Amino acid sequence: MKIDLMSNPRELRSIQKMARDVEQAGFSGITFTEGGRTAYLSVAAAALATEKLEFSTGIAVAFPRSPMITAANAWELQEASRGQFRLGLGTQVRAHITRRYGSEFDPPGPRMRDYIGALKAIFKAYRKEAKLDYHGPYYELTLFNDMWSPGSIDYPPPAIDAAAVNPYMLKMAGELCDGIQVHPFHSQKYIEDMMLPAVAEGATKAGREVSDVDLLVPVLTIVGDSEEEKAASKAFCRQQVAFYGSTPNYAFQFDLLGFEGTTAKIRTCQKAGDMAGMSDVITDEILQHYTTEASWDDLADKLVDRYEGTAERLIIYTAGMDYARDPDSIGRWGEVARAVTASK
């Protein structure tokens, strides 16, 4: 397995220093999220500062950018990273797309399917493999000539990964995508009982194998060499599981494990403004399904035991946050990263 550090985009010069430190520590790559700052610029800064790291957007928001703009960004980043870039795309949620970005959202699943089809057509046009003549339900692209081409590059088109949780998106990703950006809020039962069968159904439709679709998996870790040291990361993970689990569309995650009604309890606290109460709903029994808990020396083995044979790439959810607080923390995380990548 490969292993990434997850990071929010920050000031670009600081991203370059972080990228060099991450490369030296022994990580496989960096996965950049997208919030107030763009993931694409962070990838560019990091790629130009390193030699071997691989990069993913996890995720970049698709719909506010036309497929042509996204394709152009991805093409240049694939060149800048020496062919080591994965384009991870997500829908975000309706409120952000319509009210923050001022873009169209509905219907998100079919729109994303069309978006990915458009990207593939654009990549073929960039490589002069086919004339751009794409006609989909939401995107129609027919105007393209050499003046507007970014030019050829010495690498294949970047892999396209989609954020997918529900059956429609999982099947679509299995059919069309190179990989899936798995949600950090996942249990092994969800992966085995819901995700993989849906991905396999989509892959079979396209004449592919489920193994053709990489799973890129962000992992929540509770790590420390004493209960006192673990307490802070446990509190953070409990808070994150409560936050993600407050989403009504994710209630099934708890239901799968026999914890019916958990989302309703979280939302009751949320509506009352009781943030501590939200976390308190997540018992240790629930939390263990969504986290990997270990000492520092045992963490790599625990991650390999849990995800070997399932994940192509693990993404350490808190490593970038730890680095932002204390750059020296990268040394300990690097030991974990090297042990994971060395496992057979």
Decide: residue 227, CB within 10 A, 0-12 exposed, 13-18 middle, 19+ buried. exposed
Decide: residue 221, CB within 10 A, 0-12 exposed, 13-18 middle, 19+ buried. buried
Per-residue model confidence as pLDDT tens digits over 228-251: 999 999 999 999 999 999 999 999
Confirm if 278 and 284 have CB atoms less than 8 A apart: no
Q: How confident is the model at residue 62 (pLDDT cuts 50, 70, 90)?
A: very high
Q: Is the pLDDT of residue 188 over 90?
A: yes
User: Which residues does 223 contact at the CB level (< 8 Å), separation at least 6?
Assistant: 229, 230, 233, 293, 294, 295, 296, 299
Q: Are strands 292-294 and 221-223 parallel, antiparallel or unpaired?
A: parallel
Residue 330 has a pLDDT of 98
Ranges of CATH 3.20.20.30 domains, the chain: 2-219+298-342
CA angle 183–98–318, rounded 5-degree value: 30
Mean pLDDT computed over every residue of the chain:
97
Measure the CA–CA gap between 139 and 6, rounded to whole angstroms: 32
Measure the CA–CA gap between 233 and 318, rounded to whole angstroms: 9
* Total residues belonging to the chain: 344
Measure the CA–CA gap between 41 and 45, rounded to whole angstroms: 6
Q: How confident is the model at residue 344 (pLDDT cuts 50, 70, 90)?
A: low
Structure tokens at 67: 């497929």
Instruction: Name the residue with tokens 């974990």.
Output: 336
Q: Is the pLDDT of residue 284 over 80?
A: yes
Q: Is the pLDDT of residue 337 over 80?
A: yes
Residue 12 has a pLDDT of 96
**What would the mean pLDDT of 282-291 be, rounded to a whole number?**
98
Per-residue model confidence as pLDDT tens digits over 83-110: 999 999 999 999 999 999 999 999 999 9
Dihedral sign for Cα 194, 59, 232, 269, please. Answer: negative
Is 0.85 surpassed by the pTM of this model?
A: yes
Greater confidence (281 vs 343) lies with 281
Residue 41 has a pLDDT of 97
Residue 216 has a pLDDT of 98
CATH number of 2-219+298-342, picked from 3.90.1150.10, 3.40.50.2300, 3.20.20.30, 2.40.30.20:
3.20.20.30
User: Which residues does 134 contact at the CB level (< 8 Å), separation at least 6?
Assistant: 117, 118, 121, 122, 140, 141, 142
Coil, strand or helix at 3: strand
User: What residues are paired with 221 via a beta bridge?
Assistant: 292
The fraction of the chain above a pLDDT of 90, given in percent, is: 99
Question: Dihedral (C-alpha) 179, 42, 52, 55: value to the nearest 10 degrees?
Answer: 0
**What would the mean pLDDT of 60-74 be, rounded to a whole number?**
98
Instruction: Name the residue with tokens 């350490």.
Output: 316
**What would the mean pLDDT of 25-43 be, rounded to a whole number?**
96
The fraction of the chain above a pLDDT of 70, given in percent, is: 100
User: What residues are paired with 86 via a beta bridge?
Assistant: 56, 159
Q: How confident is the model at residue 132 (pLDDT cuts 50, 70, 90)?
A: very high
Residue 144 has a pLDDT of 95
What letter represents residue 220's amino acid?
L
